[in-house]
Amino acid sequence: MNEARGTVIELDGEYAWVRIDAAGCGHCHEAGGCGGQRLEKIFCDTPARYRVRNPDLAQPGECVTVTMPSGALGRSAMQAYGPPLLGLFAGAFGGSALAGEIGAMVGAGLGLLAGWLVLRCFRPTDADAKLQPYVNKR
């Protein structure tokens, strides 16, 4: 499970808006650390705000831990990038077999469009709690 410390700034029904106090893994200043937190401050000087599920009913002003379920990031990436990429490659290979290089380009474009349409029509809903971060009051 990935976790980040933050502060609840407002409530939105069964969700809470949380300001994340620090980004990264916390090993920025140690030997072998990537320095990602310093990089974030260069590009964005305002604290990050996220809308997350609030099953523990945290109130504004409370310090909380935002938890991302294990494997959720990988599953979300596969769901978001998988269908368009599969469509792109299938269209390119099919178009190449039918009409050479021009067919591959047209097929890749049509396959990418088809993959995107599949993604839009069959994407997971907000009810898929397995993929959503949540407030964990500790």
What are the structural domain ranges in the chain?
2-70
Instruction: Name the CATH topology of 2-70.
Output: OB fold (Dihydrolipoamide Acetyltransferase, E2P) (2.40.50)
Q: What is the reported pTM?
A: 0.60
> What are the distances in angstroms from CA 78 to CA 6, 72, 81?
27, 10, 5
In order along its 138 residues, the chain shows pLDDT tens digits of 678 888 899 898 888 999 987 655 555 556 666 655 555 566 566 668 888 888 888 889 888 888 888 888 888 888 889 999 999 999 999 999 999 999 999 999 999 999 999 988 887 665 567 778 888 876
CB 1 within 8 A of CB 68: yes
> What is the Cα–Cα distance from 73 to 42, expressed in whole angstroms?
25
